[in-house]
Amino acid sequence: MVVNGRPVRLPEDPRVSLLDLLREHLGLTGTKKGCAQGACGACTVLVDGARILSCLALAVQYSGRSVLTIEGLAEDGQMGPVQRAFVDHDGFQCGYCTPGQICSAIGMATEIERGAPSHVTADLTGTVEASAAEIRERMSGNLCRCGAHNGIIAAIQAACGAGP
Amino acid sequence: MRRFDYARAEDVADAVRYGTRRDALYLGGGTNLVDLMRETVAQPAALVDVTRLASTIEGTETGGLRIGAAARNSLVAEHPAVRQRYPALARAILAGASAQIRNMATVGGNLLQRTRCAYFYDVEGSRCNRRSPGQGCDAIEGLNRGHAVLGTSSSCIATHPSDMCVALAALDAVVHLAHEDGERSLPLTALHRVPGDRPDIETVLRPGELVTGVELPRLPLAARSTYRKVRDRASYAFALVSVAAAVEVEAGIVQDVRLALGGVGTTPWRARHAEETLRGQAVGEPAFRRAAQAELAAAVPRAHNGFKVELAVRTVIGVLNELTREEA
Ligand SMILES: Cc1cc2nc3c(=O)[nH]c(=O)nc-3n(C[C@H](O)[C@H](O)[C@H](O)COP(=O)(O)OP(=O)(O)OC[C@H]3O[C@@H](n4cnc5c(N)ncnc54)[C@H](O)[C@@H]3O)c2cc1C
Ligand code: SF4
Ligand code: FES
Ligand code: FES
């Protein structure tokens, strides 16, 4: 497995989740554990570009795959565009949900780019756009207890046009 | 979590060979099974990873569509043929869970996901016949607002939670299975069992039997199909009631119809009584209501879920109105 561009050894014990591998074994504590049941999205990471929940993923299942976490988003020590937009638009308060929100938003942008419909897309065979309603639905897997959602949506809308 | 052996199956023969081992379970995306193992509801001695088996989505010789069991839910909903020819299926998948979970969940795992009844999950504190046969059912006299009204028994009233399965039930889907003894196929509506006095036996699968794919038949009326889900919040919640429907109307008369319900049944509920009542009738609310009521006539509501009966009737009417709007 490759994590943020670096090769990583898989755990011996198949019970280790991808989330625990990242946090406990690799010290990458940016990815957060909220519910550990799939309900909050705090543990969202990108695997080969697709957003998934690392808390419900057994690490052994992801051998040979490329994992990207919040720690891997900076480019030359500078925040990536989605990270920048979260700062500019007050897309967080306590920050606990933020790494998951940002990874999720990057995954969402590629889904929209390839024309994937959502629950609120009226015409399943038409094109999709990154409207606020679309972003809200597509980001519903990421909860924010602080209620920073308006800033989160604004940040994502601002960043989406520019790509991840 | 109990220790288990992990093996990745490279092909179907590999999978069923491992899968027939004692206490082995197949592993799809893990979005349900990993959770159940943490709660010790499931305690397999071995997991057989089947996510590298066929995940292709391709047309069949008879004009249908075959979907490999390892296909991720998101890719099924996104597939052009699904969106054009079976929109109810795309809509049902998109109405379920979250984008992250849909990226992980496989078709096989979605079919065989277990109920979300909270007592079923509560190993330490609750009695549950489905989890521990003979223990009793804490839901029947308990918090049963989310529970089923159709297909229930005095042993269990849990709903089957899948949205995808409701659309598949409506669209005449067939499930392909493999076992060490050979292959077979079943209508999706014959896969899940109503609980009766054995709620712990949830499907007709034999131990070690593997889902290899789902096939949708050629079904022209499905191009005009849809899925509507009613839930406590607008997104990321299980259904209170849901309806998958496809209708064909000619000169204001219902020629053919497919209807299935979610959130109200102990299995993905194909509404055959409603369909029979509706065929040959003039489109419009009176006929839609009669049809929905014919299906819900058998409902057995409990203390907190009685609202589901009228909600289901109204949702059926709403969906049929939507699908026949131009015909009325
Ligand atoms: C927070 C949350 C919200 C959710 N909301 C919804 C919702 O609104 N609507 C909805 O429909 N679903 C919802 N789900 C459930 C989700 O759809 C299922 O967890 C998912 O579809 C299961 O697929 P999987 O591949 O991850 O299965 P797994 O968890 O890997 O497996 C599930 C079961 O299927 C068996 N299995 C897997 N593959 C095969 C196979 N090929 N052959 C035989 N047996 C197999 C496994 O042994 C296991 O018993 C939600 C889940 C979560 C965690
Ligand atoms: S309804 Fe079924 S799953 Fe829920 S507690 Fe009763 S027996 Fe168990
Ligand atoms: S920690 Fe994974 S979804 Fe909450
Ligand atoms: S910023 Fe605090 S949980 Fe979202």
Number of domains comprising chain A: 2
Residue B102 Cα, gap to closest chain A Cα (Å): 8
Q: How far is it between the farthest Cα atoms of chain A?
A: 47
Let me know if residue B85 belongs to a domain.
no
Residue B326 has pLDDT above 80, yes or no: no
Pocket test for ligand 1, best of A35, A40, A53, A56 (most atoms within 8 A of CB): A56
Residue B276 sits in which domain range? 225-327
With respect to residue A103, please indicate whether it lies within any of the assigned structural domains: yes
- Which CATH number characterizes residue A40's domain? 3.10.20.30
Q: Is the CB of B99 less than 8 angstroms away from the CB of A58? A: no
Cα-based distances in Å from A49 to A45, A91, B22, B68, B325:
9, 22, 37, 22, 41
Quick check: A117 and B78 CB within 8 A? yes
Q: Which range among A86-90, A160-164, B36-40, B72-76 shows the weakest confidence by mean pLDDT? A: A160-164
Share of chain B above pLDDT 70, in %: 99
CA of B131 vs chain A CAs: smallest distance (Å): 19
* DSSP three-state, residue B188: helix
State in Å: Cα B112 to ligand 1 middle: 7
Q: How many residues does chain A have?
A: 164
Q: Which ligand is nearest to the CA of B138?
A: 2
Number of separate domains in chain B: 2
The whole domain housing A124 covers: 81-159
Residue with tokens 């839910």: B73
A50 with A90, same domain: the answer is no
Angle, nearest 10°, between helix axes A81-88 and A98-113? 120
- Residue partners of A40: CB distance under 8 A and separation at least 6: A34, A97, A100, A142, A143
CB of A33 within 6 A of ligand 3: the answer is: yes
d(CA A74, CA A129): 26
Residues B130-147 pLDDT 10s: 999 999 999 999 999 999
* B312 within some domain: yes
Please give the pLDDT value at position A163: 41
Average pLDDT over chain B reads: 97
Tens-place pLDDT, residues B54-97 = 999 999 999 999 999 999 999 999 999 999 999 999 999 999 99
Q: Are strands A44-47 and A50-53 parallel, antiparallel or unpaired?
A: antiparallel
A88 & A145 share domain: yes
Domain-located, residue B281: yes
Q: Per the domain annotation, does A63 fall within a domain?
A: yes
Q: Could you read off the pLDDT of A47-68 as tens digits, one per residue? A: 999 999 999 999 999 999 999 9
- A151 and A88 share one domain: yes
Reading the block at residue A17, the tokens are 């989740």
Residue A38 is assigned to a structural domain of this protein: yes
ipTM of the complex as predicted: 0.97
- Report chain A residues whose CB lies below 8 A from the CB of B74: 50, 111, 116
Residue A161 has what pLDDT?
63
Q: Would you say A43 and A104 are in contact if contact means Cβ atoms under 8 Å apart?
A: no
Tell which of B16, B31, B51 closes a domain: B51
Judge whether A11 lies within some domain. yes
Domain-embedded: residue A164 = no
Please give the share of chain B, as a percent, with pLDDT higher than 90. 99
User: Is the distance from CB of B113 to CB of B27 less than 8 angstroms?
Assistant: no
CATH of the domain at A137: 1.10.150.120
Ligand 3 pocket member A23 (CB < 6 A): no
Is A15 part of a structural domain of the chain? Answer: yes
A19 & A64 share domain:
yes
Whether residue B127 is predicted with pLDDT greater than 70 in this model: the reply is yes
The pLDDT confidence band at residue A164, using thresholds 50, 70 and 90, is very low
Which of B31, B83, B101 is facing A117, going by the closest CB pair? B83
Tens digit of each residue's pLDDT (9 = 90 or more) over B247-305 = 999 999 999 999 999 999 999 999 999 999 999 999 999 999 999 999 999 999 999 99
The pLDDT mean for chain A works out to 95
Q: Give residue-wise pLDDT tens across range A107-161.
A: 999 999 999 999 999 999 999 999 999 999 999 999 999 999 999 999 999 998 6
Q: Which residues contact B74 (CB under 8 A, 6 or more apart)?
A: A50, A111, A116, B93, B99, B102, B103
Q: Report whether pLDDT(B328) > 60.
A: no
- CA A147 remoteness from chain centre: 18
pLDDT of residue A160: 84
What's the first-to-final CA gap in chain A, in angstroms?
A: 23
Confidence of residue A162 (pLDDT cuts 50, 70, 90): very low
Cβ count near A85 (within 10 Å): 23
Residues 6+ apart with CB under 8 A from B61: none
* pLDDT tens digits, one per residue of B168-199: 999 999 999 999 999 999 999 999 999 999 99
Report the CATH number at residue B242. 3.30.390.50
At residue B327, the pLDDT reads 58
Considering the domain architecture, whether residues A61 and A25 belong to the same structural domain is answered as yes
**B225-230 and B241-250 as β-strands: parallel, antiparallel, unpaired?**
antiparallel
